[in-house]
Amino acid sequence: MRVKYAVIALLLFASAVYAKTDPRLAKAYREDKAGWIFVHLEGTPNEIGFQDGYLLAPGIDDALRAMKYYLRIGTKKDWSWYRESAKRMFWPKLTKEYQEEIEGIAEGLRAQGKKYDDIDITALNGWMELAQYYLPALRDKIIPGAGDDKAPGNCSAFIATGSYTSDGKIVMAHNSWVDYLVGERWNIIEDIVPEKGNRILMDSFPGFIHSGDDFVENSAGILITETTITQFKGFDPNGTPEFMRAREAEQYANSIDDFVRIMTTGNNGGYANDWLVGDTKTNEIARLELGLKHYRVWKSKDGVFFGSNFPSDPEVIKDETTFKVNDPNSSMNARKVRWGELMKEYKGKIDVNTAESFMADHYDTVLKKDFADARSLCGHVDEDPRGIPQWGWTPYFPGGAVQGKVTTTGLAKKLEFWAHMGHPCGEDFIASKFLKAHPRYKWMGKYLRDMKSYPWTLFEAKK
């Protein structure tokens, strides 16, 4: 035991010495706060990547181990398939800037004794596109109709402005829905100061160069969030990976039109979303529904857009999904109804406090009462005997709302937002208790952890 502790002490000492001697780490730092890991990253693409990989090495290593295990069982594909696909399809399409950042992440990991390379990090960034869009498209080509069209429908979000908010300016909020095994690890907040483009404040996943679940504000005053389109089907392997387009938009969009242009250029259909975007310079908001074959943009300076994984454009619905718009019992449509109720009830009163309450809302519009389940905005599918069949989530599936974020025009102008790790309602998820009650999911036990709920906490891009 003494030898073990001596080795750990030696490794910590070596890490501290390295941090003081490598100039790439001079402007970077990490703070652990309220269940989140906040990192400040600054410099060239390689420097930003190295700082990211070095400061988040334990979390990235844990995330990669968990994803390799989870994807092998969930998709019947080993990590080697994800590496090969990412190397062939994604890496050649990345700009030099983002190749250098990803190479830097891998270098930072290796400096901490974690043996990963740039293709591992590329595959990690693109795992949703590969597992949930590319792989189903491949299977459908082999046997028409065999592709799994249960594209995920994760997240609840809204963006409002004008007569809907208490000060007439923008309020934006989002809670991320995902498998708990993945979501309990979605606890990074990054403040990025790149050489070129805008400063970015966003939530993220370990090892990502983008937000991923997408809650972002930049120094040009652009706000970005989204919810995915349920049962979307389509993928273009010759397109540009969504994760790079998302990062480019986060970094280089100075207007809503910039955002739309970047996201639609080279679109591969991966991670098809209803994007909710705002410009704090004009207090205009927009929704970009981005499929593969079709996209549509709505804009308003006095209105609200909300998402709960339902598509709205008739062409997207007809040509690119199997979504049933008239099913009142589905999670997507029930939450859509609830959003409409809340926006009507709170019109003119929406602010940070009401937005936080929306993220924690448990009202089920089918049952007509508060009941934390798959149809509440704060999702608790682990408590729902129906699961969400449209996503392939079986009864009592361990997934739902894993965290929440809220911002406003005023906050965004200072590059600040409020964030809540864990269920926004405040309930804890205890893995051992869940697995005992639902042994069918015991295979997740190797990586499924407790997901504690922390208080809403203000984060800022510090000067």
pLDDT in tens, 166-209: 999 999 999 999 999 999 999 999 999 999 999 999 999 999 99
Residue 149 has pLDDT above 70, yes or no: no
Measure the CA–CA gap between 262 and 220, rounded to whole angstroms.
Answer: 15
The two structure tokens encoding residue 99: 């190749």
Measure the CA–CA gap between 74 and 390, rounded to whole angstroms.
Answer: 16
What is the per-residue pLDDT for 444?
Answer: 97
What is the per-residue pLDDT for 462?
Answer: 85
What is the per-residue pLDDT for 145?
Answer: 63
The two structure tokens encoding residue 411: 């906050």
What is the per-residue pLDDT for 422?
Answer: 98
Percent of the chain with pLDDT over 70: 94
**Residue whose structure tokens are 């005997």:** 385
Better pLDDT: 146 or 385 = 385
The two structure tokens encoding residue 141: 């080509």
Residue 13 has pLDDT above 70, yes or no: no
Measure the CA–CA gap between 261 and 398, rounded to whole angstroms.
Answer: 37
Indicate the average pLDDT of the chain. 94
Residue 3 has pLDDT above 60, yes or no: no
For every residue of 393-407, DSSP letters joined together read B-TT-SEEEEEEEEE
Residue 9 has pLDDT above 70, yes or no: no
Measure the CA–CA gap between 19 and 28, rounded to whole angstroms.
Answer: 10
* pLDDT-based confidence at residue 341 (cuts at 50, 70, 90): very high
Looking at the domain 156-460, which fold is it? Penicillin V Acylase; Chain A (3.60.60)
Measure the CA–CA gap between 253 and 262, rounded to whole angstroms.
Answer: 8
Q: Look at residues 387, 355, 403 and name the one whose alpha carbon lies nearest to residue 178.
A: 403
Better pLDDT: 14 or 415 = 415
- Give the list of residues 6+ apart from residue 318 with CB closer than 8 angstroms, or none: none
The two structure tokens encoding residue 110: 């290796």
What is the per-residue pLDDT for 11?
Answer: 41
What is the per-residue pLDDT for 6?
Answer: 44
* pLDDT-based confidence at residue 17 (cuts at 50, 70, 90): very low
Q: Look at residues 269, 304, 272 and name the one whose alpha carbon lies nearest to residue 289.
A: 272
Phi, psi of 366 (to 5 degrees): -85, -45
Phi, psi of 441 (to 5 degrees): -105, 20
How deeply is 443 buried, as exposed, middle or buried, from its count of CB atoms within 10 A (0-12, 13-18, 19+)?
middle
Residue 56 has pLDDT above 90, yes or no: yes
Percent of the chain with pLDDT over 90: 92
Q: What is the pTM of this model?
A: 0.94
Mean pLDDT across 111-127: 98
Q: Look at residues 175, 90, 123, 106 and name the one whose alpha carbon lies nearest to residue 402.
A: 175
β-partners of residue 388 are 393
Mean pLDDT across 396-406: 98
**Residue whose structure tokens are 């997934």:** 399
**Residue whose structure tokens are 């996943």:** 205
- CA 174 → CA 16, 155, 218, 266, 355, distances in Å? 37, 7, 16, 26, 9
Residue 1 has pLDDT above 50, yes or no: no
Mean pLDDT across 145-150: 60
Residue 142 has pLDDT above 70, yes or no: yes
Measure the CA–CA gap between 111 and 97, rounded to whole angstroms.
Answer: 21
What is the per-residue pLDDT for 18?
Answer: 55
Residue length, the chain?
Answer: 463
What are the pLDDT digits (tens) for 211-269? 999 999 999 999 999 999 999 999 999 999 999 999 999 999 999 999 999 999 999 99
* pLDDT-based confidence at residue 5 (cuts at 50, 70, 90): very low
What is the per-residue pLDDT for 277?
Answer: 99
What are the pLDDT digits (tens) for 198-207? 999 999 999 9
What is the per-residue pLDDT for 150?
Answer: 67
Helices (H), 280-381: 314-320, 331-345, 352-359
The two structure tokens encoding residue 75: 């998709």
Measure the CA–CA gap between 278 and 280, rounded to whole angstroms.
Answer: 6
- CA 344 to centroid of chain Cα atoms: 28
Phi, psi of 282 (to 5 degrees): -120, -10
Residue 151 has pLDDT above 60, yes or no: yes
Residue 31 has pLDDT above 60, yes or no: yes
